[in-house]
Structure 1
Amino acid sequence: MEIKTIPATNDEVLETYITRHSQKIYNFIFSKVMDKNTTEDIFQDTFIKVAHTLKKGDYSEEGKFLSWVMRIAHNLVIDYFRQTQRKRIFRNSEDLGALYGVEDSSMNAEKFLIMQQTERCVKKLIAQLPPDQQDVVIMRIYREMTFKEISEVMGVNINTSLGRMRYALTNLRKIAKQNNISI
């Protein structure tokens, strides 16, 4: 893949930022994927996206540069997990033929349907939250990120992340009650 060059001034700025923040970003990615090769791929993709965005002039300096880059890295990590999840589901669906008729007492059809229904219900509830609260819930519950990591990715202080989670949980309870769903 050929990468077009960025004007010298942007190259120098980008190189300075990469040098300054590379270890922090690399460690963040590695803490999520726990694989050196995958981390290096995502790390490289992160800075390719950063370079392309800077080249097009689409970067707005509303927040901190590091938070913006961390958000890009976080989104690429999420994309990675989505892709690996799809591959695992596809691969497992092929293996069902060999397991057909084998009873698994831990997950029968009824339990599986209940679990699916509960998952859909929870996703619908989360979708009704404001976007910033949705992000915190997804990062904390589904990605198992710490509030410190969440605050870095979102570019806010840790108390704001904690507050958003508290409001999200309160709002989830209200929404569930309005829809006659017991939590």
Structure 2
Amino acid sequence: MDFHLKSDQDLIHLYIGGQEGALVELIRRYQSKIYTSIYLLVKDEYLAEDIFQDTFIKVINTLKAGKYNEEGKFLPWVSRIAHNLVIDHFRREKRTPLVSGGDDFDIFDVLGHHDESTEDRMVREQTYKDLKSLIHLLPAEQKEVLIMRHFSDMSFKEIADVTEVSINTALGRMRYALNNLRKMMQQKELSLKN
């Protein structure tokens, strides 16, 4: 079956119906955005992988239990799960290890190693490298909104709900974040020219 031609909703139904390959396609489709959004918040590669894995374990459990009902909103839904797991992590003691899915399950085994060529990976890493370093310099509230909007495709209403602020506050934070990023990029270009 040609899974990559199917919609998210079709893939979800196929997976619930027992087609494991549909899940692999869903993860492949969004792994870069979701992993990046987690990594930008936690700033640690291994922790980001743990949270990414925990996110998809939660996704799998919810789908298998028949509790998914977000028609056509798969990426924002997964992003909310990931974001909540990041918040949970920061609420706990820094040293507390994340609860993983156990030795019998590894989301990266499900994915396999065929997803991205070395060239693609290098280009993607280079593209994000400078942007990541600038995003890290933003105030936490601005950084959070920017990541949820641009890496997780969440609406401002969804961002407002998750962060427990008004939509106007979320929009304001986004405006400040983009202005600050623009200023930092201009300063970086000036310093490179000098």
Q: TM-score if structure 2 supplies the norm length?
A: 0.47
Highest RCO, 1 vs 2 (Cα 8 Å, sep ≥ 6): 2
Q: Name the structure where helix makes up a greater proportion of residues.
A: 1
Q: Which has the larger radius of gyration?
A: 1
Q: TM-score if structure 1 supplies the norm length?
A: 0.49
